[in-house]
Amino acid sequence: MSKVYKNATEATQDIHDKATLMSGGFGLCGIPENSIEAIAKLPIKNLTVISNNIGNSGRGLVALLKEKMIAKAICSYVGGNPDLEEQMLAKSVEVELVPQGTFSERIRAAGMGVRAFYTPTGYGTLVAEGKETKNFDVPCILESALHADFAIIKAQKGDRYGNLWFKETARNFSPLMAMAAKTTIVEVEELVELGDIPAEDIHLPGLFVQRIYQGVHYKNDIEFRVTQ
């Protein structure tokens, strides 16, 4: 069966109530713009969304927050996202804040078949509450793998097997999330022929990708344009 889908609407239509959804991107850098826009139009709710920032500056995944589709958010940083901070303090969205390295590693662990791991990050803080601890060279806490039903990610280039190439710092969490989800939906700026991305330069092998489509109308927003 071909992995190539026509567009975002076709690729995301089976995302359902109570699904766990991972979304790539650091702030607004590398976010799957087309998939987010399509999901915001679906009649679904009670999603658990796993993403570093859950959108920022009123954009990106904030569209899902505004539609009240998110019941729980798992993320590392909410500074710069007043919509989430507001819903968090009002307790209309449950927020699990995870240290960013633990967040990345929990997602990586899911993709790698690692069920849990010990880390010193968060020891002696609120993050350690209710978690098993164990002393190695230093005291550590036990953190578990983070899986998802769907991952939505964006790459600069991809081919019909789902082999991907990311541009500059737009890679961030995306390849990890692709490995941790049952169904990974990729949008690309350039859908290229097999072989166009040299095999040595493939950042994520297509094995981890179930759906891929050519995205359209990218905004590629810049949060802070700092120049000389």
Site for another protein in 2-31 (CB under 8 A): 26-30
Q: Does 47 bind another protein (CB under 8 A)?
A: no
Q: Which part of the chain contacts another protein (CB under 8 A), choosing from 15-23, 32-40, 124-132, 157-165?
A: 124-132
Of 68, 92, 94, 120, the one binding another protein by CB under 8 A: 120
Examine residue 216 and tell whether it contacts another protein (CB under 8 A): no
Name the residue among 216, 228, 225, 219 with its Cα closest to residue 38.
216
Between 31 and 42, CB nearer to another protein:
31
Cβ-based neighbours of 78, under 8 Å, separated by 6 or more: 53, 54, 84, 85, 88, 95, 97
Does 194 bind another protein (CB under 8 A)? Our answer is no
The three state secondary structure string of 86-145 is HHHHCCCCEEEECCHHHHHHHHHHHHHCCCEEEECCCCCCHHHCCCCEEECCCEEEEEEC
Residues in CB range of 60: below 8 A, 6 or more apart: 25, 28, 31, 33, 36, 53, 54
**C-alpha to C-alpha distance for 140 and 210, rounded to whole angstroms:** 36
Q: Which is nearer to another protein, 13 or 220 (CB)?
A: 220
Contact between 90 and another protein by CB under 8 A: the answer reads no
Other Cβ atoms less than 10 A from the Cβ of 204: the count is 23
Residue 122 sits in the site that holds another protein (CB under 8 A): yes
Alpha-carbon span 96 to 102, nearest angstrom: 12
174 binds another protein (CB under 8 A): yes
Give yes or no for residue 44 binding another protein (CB under 8 A): no
What is the smallest separation between the CB atom of 197 and another protein, expressed in angstroms? 15
Type of residue found at 86: E
Residues binding another protein: what is the number (CB under 8 A)?
Answer: 57
Contact status: 124 vs another protein (CB under 8 A): yes
Binding site for another protein (CB under 8 A): 26-30, 52, 56, 75-80, 85, 88-89, 97, 99-105, 107-108, 119-127, 156, 166-176, 203, 220-228
